[in-house]
Amino acid sequence: MHAARWLFIASLCAGLLMPMAVSAESLQAGAPAPDFALRDGQGKQRSLADWRGRWLVLYFYPKDDTPGCTVEAQAFRDSLQRFTALDADVVGVSLDDAASHQSFAASQRLSFPLLVDAGGKVARAYGALTNLGIAKFAKRHTFLIDPTGRIAKTYRDVEPATHAAEILADLQAFKRD
């Protein structure tokens, strides 16, 4: 009887996770970036259209103030002038609330927006949502979006310490082309 129960649970989990994998795969280079309307840590409404005409690094991360997320945010913070010089903006997205984002941004001196995706709707649209039933969080995925609102590149295997440098190199290559 235990084997049947575990088989049921495993098939249920596979069913929950499979649609997200299909969604993530559909966001290949050249595809339109899914639109969004989210509030940042200060309560300001932000949408994809706010960055039209500029490159956008839209990065999803699991949780404010955790080791990997802090390292990744610091790397983006430390490279922000280089992104700006390439006409690019950086925006972080997680399922944390505005108060958590405010605290995280203040403690790490982050000057780029952190968007609140409380229900995970935008993370789901980008194939970056992990939904374990009792817990939801964003996967560490990043999307480089071109000035016309199309996906230029997706990053699904992210190393927090080197990710900002990787995107900068790719952005420089896109700008040369």
Catalytic residues: 69
Inter-residue contact 76 to 57 (CB < 8 Å): yes
| Residues 6+ positions from 129 with CB-CB distance below 8 Å | 20, 120, 123, 136, 137, 138, 139
State how far the alpha carbon of 165 is from the alpha carbons of 80, 128, 135, 168, in Å: 11, 21, 31, 5
The DSSP call for residue 53 is T
